[in-house]
Amino acid sequence: MTKVALIGAAAGLVGLAALALGYQAGRTDMAGAAPDMSTITAATTDRAEIEGIVRNYLINNPEVMIEVQTALNAKQEAAQKEASTQVISENKDRIFLSSMDAVFGNPNGDVTIVEFFDYNCGYCKKALPDMDALLQSDPNLRFVMKEFPILGADSTRAHMVAKAFKAVMPEKYLEFHRDLLGGEGRATEESAMAIAVKLGANETQIREKMKSPEVAAAFRDNYDLANSLSITGTPSYVVGNEVVPGALGADALAERISQIRNK
């Protein structure tokens, strides 16, 4: 490590530790006493001396760093939630009403769940029965599927077939979706096309539609929305005014739906 890098690392440690010291100075419930702040005065200008004081304090009170990190994480999560809520508020039509997205369930339902998914996502595959269970038990639920291929070229090509199939045969897209997402092995252009043809689509027509500007624009818009919402993995849901990452399971999603209806 270079001298500049060493100084930078030391400066970062001092800064973070100083933050910890300031945080800890006002606490009275720690097992160890707060540091004697009089030992760090305007007269203490020697860097090595300051670093020694900081190092000794952290060694004697390592738990304070966990508390600082926990507080920082909570602050960042709150800021991200607030930012996502604002993005959802400003982009409701793009998120909930895009004509390029498939809609399952009741198209006029009183609650909408939006799912960002990838056909090669293992957790998305596990979440498929959750969606089916919710749609079966809740006649007023509207499910919007946002295709978000992030798991390689196979995913991208499979989703392009899916988008084209949805445009050509929208009445059979739910069946296509269940077959492709619920199938064994990796979703590819070939496997997606085989399902499309099995369901009655013309392969030439599908391939022509895959080249359309509308399909490319739909993917760009989904990527842009995901970026604005800080969505980096699948499945991720938009429920009400909140982004919910991960495969929560049918019960947890049903609870959130109930909370929205009870507001």
42, 124, 128, 188, 243 from 118: Cα distances, Å: 57, 7, 12, 12, 17
Amino acid at 33: A
- 248 and 237 in contact (C-beta within 8 Å)? yes
pLDDT digits (tens, 9 = 90+) for 26-81: 444 444 455 555 555 545 567 888 888 888 888 888 887 888 888 877 777 777 77
Contacts of residue 216, Cβ cutoff 8 Å, sequence gap at least 6:
none
pLDDT digits (tens, 9 = 90+) for 159-169: 999 999 999 99
- Give the Cα separation of 176 and 196 in Å (integer): 7
- Options 3.40.30.10, 3.40.640.10, 3.40.50.720, 3.30.750.210; which CATH number does 92-262 get? 3.40.30.10
Query: 3-state DSSP call for residue 158?
Result: helix
Q: What's the predicted TM-score (pTM) here?
A: 0.72
Structure token pair of residue 24: 């800890």
**Residue-level pLDDT at 98:** 94
**Residue-level pLDDT at 135:** 96
Ranges 38-52, 84-98, 162-176, 211-225: which has the least confidence: 38-52
Structure token pair of residue 130: 């959750």
Looking at per-residue confidence, does 86 or 145 come out higher? 145
- 244 and 250 in contact (C-beta within 8 Å)? no
**Residue-level pLDDT at 49:** 83
CA atoms within 13 A on the CB side of 201: 29
- Give the Cα separation of 180 and 187 in Å (integer): 7
Any idea where the domains of the chain sit in the sequence?
A: 3-61, 92-262
- Give the Cα separation of 236 and 245 in Å (integer): 4
Structure token pair of residue 228: 């604005």
For residue 238, count CB atoms less than 10 angstroms from its CB and return exposed for 0-12, middle for 13-18, buried for 19 or more: buried
Structure token pair of residue 87: 């993005």
Contacts of residue 38, Cβ cutoff 8 Å, sequence gap at least 6:
none
Query: Which parts of 23-80 are beta strand (E)?
Result: none
Instruction: For residues 223-231, give the mean pLDDT.
Output: 95
